[in-house]
Amino acid sequence: MSAEKLIEVKNLKKYFKINSKSILKAVDDVSFDIFKGETLGLVGESGCGKTTCGRTMLGVYNKTGGQVFFQGKDVHNLNKGEKKNFNKNAQIIFQDPYASLNPRLTVLDIIAEGIDAQNLYKGKEREEKVYELLRLVGLNKEHANRFPHEFSGGQRQRIGIARALAIEPKFIMCDEPIAALDVSIQAQIVNLLIKLQRDYDLTYLFIAHDLSMVKHISDRIGVMYLGTMVELAESNELYKKQYHPYTQALLSAIPIPDPKIELARQRITLEGDVPSPINPKPGCRFQGRCRYYKKVCGEENPILKEVSSGHYVACHLY
């Protein structure tokens, strides 16, 4: 990982208007950087806004507020040439490999979608490029003329990865890429992503709903809760020390492979229900479930601040 910022997210907001009185604040004032060559893990429960954050970052959704810069250029204000360049450099691997591959196209045409859109290769060269990509992701050229339904879930995700790599991007948003796969296959896909990152100098945003698999792949991890970033730190540091009560609860839910430690340790159970992101109350979004709640938590939004070197937390306890 270098110190060069590839992506800068500044006070990003994405709201959805439900009706004249209700606004769903899916992403609310989120800021972070992604450095060239790193994997930033983004975790949180379903509905916390992590996928919406990633998609708004990439311009798939219009933003409500804030800014996103990719190599210094404002993603939501690109001219035609800059947009084409950005689309080439920023790709997505989707959660559901069943839904994200067009069932009527052969694997060759699926993987070549980006190549065709960018007009990069034609004829024999196009075919050779797809064969090379199939080899890279652990498949082979005999797979090129088959259709998605002929493959297992893990193989389809490999096809999705080959498609994302086809136009040699700099950045890939991996949107829960292992969530729909068997546990036995998950590690294979994560290891493939790690190898490709090393070989091709890729930068990842790796979105996941639990902390166990993100640890293996992430250099740093951001924890989101109900549209806000509550903690951000280097991966090893976050596993050693969690400041935010929500991160503490998330970590305590991961089983430990040593039965003695597992039996002895205390789980933190979250109180209350996950609140709605529609018209959220003022103050900390975690207030209804927090065992450390104090008066100020219901009055002021805690700001993300650095509590130790490179470790940021948004909580009135610090």
Structure tokens at 5: 């910022």
Does 315 sit near ligand SF4 (CB under 6 A)? Answer: yes
Going 255 to 190 to 1 to 246, the CA torsion angle's sign is negative
Residue of 256, 246, 253 lying closest to 223 (CA atoms)? 246
In this complex, which beta carbon is closest to ligand SF4, that of residue 133 or of residue 284?
Answer: 284
Q: How far is the CB of 296 from ligand SF4 (least distance, A)?
A: 7
CB 42 within 8 A of CB 7: no
Q: How far is the CB of 98 from ligand SF4 (least distance, A)?
A: 38
Does 224 sit near ligand SF4 (CB under 6 A)? Answer: no
158: three-class secondary structure by DSSP: helix
Q: How far is the CB of 317 from ligand SF4 (least distance, A)?
A: 5
* Adjacency order of strands within the sheet including 23-35: 23-35, 5-17, 65-70, 73-74
| Binding residue for ligand SF4, selected from 284, 304, 311, 312, defined by CB under 6 A | 284
CB 6 within 8 A of CB 71: yes
Residues 236-275 that bind ligand SF4 (CB under 6 A): 245
Does 226 sit near ligand SF4 (CB under 6 A)? Answer: no
Structure tokens at 61: 């959704």
In this complex, which beta carbon is closest to ligand SF4, that of residue 200 or of residue 318?
Answer: 318
Residues 295-314 that bind ligand SF4 (CB under 6 A): 297, 302
In this complex, which beta carbon is closest to ligand SF4, that of residue 213 or of residue 297?
Answer: 297
Other beta carbons within 10 Å of 220: 24
| Binding residue for ligand SF4, selected from 131, 221, 287, 311, defined by CB under 6 A | 287
Structure tokens at 65: 């507020």
Chain residues in the site for ligand SF4 (CB under 6 A): 245, 284, 286-287, 290, 292-293, 297, 302, 315-317
